Amino acid sequence: MAARDQHGIGAPWGDAAAGDPANRAFQVVGKPHRKIDGLAKATGRAQYADDLVLPGMLHAKTLRSPHAHAMIVAIDASKAKALPGVHAVITGADLPIKYGVIPWTQDEHALALDKVRFIGDEVAAVAAIDEDTANAALKLIRVEYEPLHAFLDPRESLARPEPKIHEESKTGNVSKHVDLAFGDVDAALASAEVVVEGDYVFHGTTHAAIEPHCAVAQFSAEGRLTVWSSTQITHYVHRALAKVLELPIQKIRVVQPALGGAFGGKSDPFSLEFCVAKLAMFTGRPVKMLYTREEVFYCHRGRHPMKLRYRTAASKDGKIDAVDAKILIDGGSYSSFGLVTTYYSGQLLTGPYHFPTYRFDSTRVFTNKPPCGPKRGHGSVQPRFAFEVQLDELAEKLALDPIELRRRNFQGDFTRTVNGQRITSNGFLACLDEVERASGWRARRAKLGRGRGLGVAGSMYISGTNYPVYPNKMPQAGIQLAVERSGRVTVFTGSNDIGQGSNSMVAYVVAEELGMDVADIRVVAADTDLVPVDLGAYSSRVTFMVGNATIDAARKLRTQIAGAVAKEWQIDAARVRMGNGKVFDLDSTERCITTAEAFQIAEARCDTLGATGSYNTPTLGGDYRGGTIGASPAYSFTAHVVEASVDVETGRITCHKVWIAHDCGRALNPMLVAGQMEGSAYMGIAEALLEDHGVNRFGLHAGPSLLDYRIPTSVDTPELRR
């Protein structure tokens, strides 16, 4: 196993550039195949966590804090325990071990131990014969609180160190502070021909995935625990369960059933996973917990509100000399991925434009609000919004076309950013050209009339990073392939299909490599008893990393099978080709057998067939603390143009049309890529115009429902062109 950075030689799609006739050789890749679970989902047959019903299963509910910040003085659950139908009540004392997705900032308890930190924080859990009994029991639990000052404004958290929301934080209510400078920013600012500066605010938003969080646990007579959970990171849930429950990790099995959307909102280990497990252990019966929509809003982990200040220095012809950022991040009540968010808020801005010098100073503080975390485009969306607006301000000041300004600052391909990130291929200019052309930018922009206009923005994002959350030297993604002599291949993958299509993606890759029909490939995924580890569906890493691991495994298998067939035919292995469900001799194509026959030849000549593959990142990133966070083996690039109008009387903005261009590398399935492009544009517009995840003056969530949290309906969605 080696850290591999490219596909290596011999890839069927290998080294051909776009437009190269060699691309025509693809049989699966690049074609709009349906998702392997598409029909099951469309016909209502897919099994989600809440569809699981086990014999004797109990239902669990969570008691939540009505205080934004308070000490727990006493909990009396005796009345709840005495209610007929109640099987167990647990509190913080039953799960006293801390966890948290980032090993260095573990500050969460499954149930509050001695204090609560936001309205909705988990305090106790009840397992009962049904949901109504569990709910009735919650009302019988008496909790005595001693309220503390509640922090609702991040500026106050910064200014006021006491009372501390987390006793263990080193400086007051600061969750994380990162201050990094690359080059002499001050000198560049002092000598610049123009400087623009401004303050920007990004309010909070949440994921609003269709499926609420749900977990089911079963504890066997042999002392083995199984947890089915709507998680997007089985592996971290697995580790966290072992830690908190003090069970040997090999006795725990975590399974992710079909999942109804996540967008980052199911990346953390959540209270319900520990609670159902503990309750199953206590009662000896399977236990299910399904969050209400309101509870989903409380567990949140959505996009951080940020207050951002940017200064950009440039020459008169629009070339950037320096960018200087100061960012205050409202983290809510727990750390979650906050350490990464704080780095990402600065580290991911250094493309697609060239920054000769750059500095960012980002501070994440705790507040007594639902905890923030990763959401689609984690940590980069807020700075990107602010900086792209600042670029427009610069363009205006210099009387330059905003697209032209962006073009002039293009960083180029195969380069290194000022903060040490390695950029390989870079299609940003092509994206800009395309949206400029498609939107009729040049001809139309000045002629749309008052109140209507075209706007542009560019961006870049990672394809995973070489920071594996917990330090280890093992692969980030592993794959196993099992071959059956009938001509069927099963892929075992730890990756989490959260609707993005990763299970389909591995099937396409195997089908391409072994020249098979996608229908003859089965995928077993996200079940820790059955599959090798993958780090999970986050940081846009899955297609890149799991895809490369799959190529690795499939290619080993291909070599083995082709070798066996070559021996059988007594020809050179290079002459054996696999394609269209057939294996044939390149030099005399009439010598041709089915893939199944080839499998049988190989099985007879070699052994039971199978292969493993893996992916790990090469060494990347700058040589400084945090230099690997945000360092990705590959970046994707994008440009959007939006046509919008504002009603000058009402102030309402209507987004009429969006033109989207992405450089995501090779589109393994263009239909799924298009879905991602549409979904992200729609989500971005909604975050800009409609959605607002806030609390009121009491620290209560302003509207924890899909009526009051306004995700766009179909009639609010503009036309999307890609």
Partner 1 sequence: MLRLPKFEVRTPESLDAALALLAEFGPDARVIAGGTDLVPNMKHELVTPRIVVSLARIPELRGVGDAGAGWLRLGAMTSLADVAADARVRAQAPALAQAAGLVAGPQLRTMGTLGGNVLLDTRCQWYNQTYFWREALGFCLKKDGTLCHVVEGGSKCVAAASNDTAPALMTLRAELVFVGPQGRRVTPIDDLWLADGAANKKCASDELLVEVRLPPTGPGHRGAYGKLRERASIDFPLLGVATRIELDARGTITDADVVLTALQARPVRVKRAAELLLGVRAEGDAFLAAARAVADQAHRQAHPMPNIPGDAEWRRAMVPVYVRRTLEAAARGAGPVHAV
Q: What residues make contact with partner 1 under the rule CB under 8 A?
A: 64-67, 119, 131-132, 135, 212, 290, 292-294, 647, 649-652, 690, 698, 700-704, 707-708, 710, 712-716
Q: Which residues of 257-266 are buried (b: 16+ CB within 10 A; e: fewer)?
A: bbbbbbbbbb
Residue 483 or 695: the one with the smaller Cβ distance to partner 1 is 695
Report which secondary-structure segment, H or E, holds 354.
Answer: none
Residue 114 or 647: the one with the smaller Cβ distance to partner 1 is 647
Residue 127 or 523: the one with the smaller Cβ distance to partner 1 is 127
Residue 570 or 650: the one with the smaller Cβ distance to partner 1 is 650
Q: What does the block give as tokens for 662?
A: 């992405």
Residue 212 or 501: the one with the smaller Cβ distance to partner 1 is 212
Dihedral angle sign, alpha carbons of residues 686, 635, 343, 300: positive
**Comparing C-alpha atoms, which of 162, 186, 187, 190 is closest to residue 174?**
162
Residues whose CB is less than 8 angstroms from the CB of residue 561 and which lie 6 or more positions away in sequence, other chains included: 514, 578, 583, 598, 599, 601, 602, 609
What's the closest the beta carbon of residue 66 comes to partner 1, in angstroms?
4
What's the closest the beta carbon of residue 499 comes to partner 1, in angstroms?
21
Residue for token digits 């082709």?
Answer: 562
Q: Report helix, strand or coil for 521.
A: strand
Residue 74 or 707: the one with the smaller Cβ distance to partner 1 is 707
What's the closest the beta carbon of residue 290 comes to partner 1, in angstroms?
7
Residue 147 or 198: the one with the smaller Cβ distance to partner 1 is 147
Residue 65 or 617: the one with the smaller Cβ distance to partner 1 is 65
What's the closest the beta carbon of residue 377 comes to partner 1, in angstroms?
23
What's the closest the beta carbon of residue 132 comes to partner 1, in angstroms?
6
Alpha-carbon distances of 638 from 77, 456, 648, rounded to whole Å = 54, 11, 31
**Strands 58-64, 287-290: pairing kind:** parallel
Residue 115 or 311: the one with the smaller Cβ distance to partner 1 is 115
What's the closest the beta carbon of residue 716 comes to partner 1, in angstroms?
5
Residues whose CB is less than 8 angstroms from the CB of residue 510 and which lie 6 or more positions away in sequence, other chains included: 481, 489, 491, 516, 521, 550, 554
Q: Give DSSP secondary structure letters for 235-294.
A: HHHHHHHHHHHT--GGGEEEE--B----TTTT-S--HHHHHHHHHHHHHSS-EEEE--HH
What's the closest the beta carbon of residue 708 comes to partner 1, in angstroms?
6
**Comparing C-alpha atoms, which of 442, 277, 419, 261 is closest to residue 349?**
419
Q: What does the block give as tokens for 27?
A: 């049989």
Residue 181 or 690: the one with the smaller Cβ distance to partner 1 is 690
Alpha-carbon distances of 341 from 262, 545, 606, 621, rounded to whole Å = 18, 21, 49, 17
The single-letter DSSP state of residue 652 is -
**Strands 610-615, 592-594: pairing kind:** unpaired
Dihedral angle sign, alpha carbons of residues 522, 525, 527, 531: positive
Residue 676 or 717: the one with the smaller Cβ distance to partner 1 is 717
Radius of gyration (Cα) for the chain, nearest Å?
A: 27
What's the closest the beta carbon of residue 378 comes to partner 1, in angstroms?
26
What's the closest the beta carbon of residue 403 comes to partner 1, in angstroms?
30
What's the closest the beta carbon of residue 402 comes to partner 1, in angstroms?
27
Residue 442 or 652: the one with the smaller Cβ distance to partner 1 is 652
Cα dihedral 662/512/554/589 (nearest 10): -150
What's the closest the beta carbon of residue 712 comes to partner 1, in angstroms?
7
Q: What does the block give as tokens for 491?
A: 């892929």
What's the closest the beta carbon of residue 264 comes to partner 1, in angstroms?
23
What's the closest the beta carbon of residue 271 comes to partner 1, in angstroms?
15
Residues 423, 443: Cα–Cα separation, whole Å:
33
Residues 505, 542: Cα–Cα separation, whole Å:
9
Q: Give DSSP secondary structure letters for 172-228.
A: TTEEEEEEEEES-HHHHHHH-SEEEEEEEEE--B----SSPPEEEEEE-TTS-EEEE
Residue 64 or 558: the one with the smaller Cβ distance to partner 1 is 64
Amino acid letter, 337: F
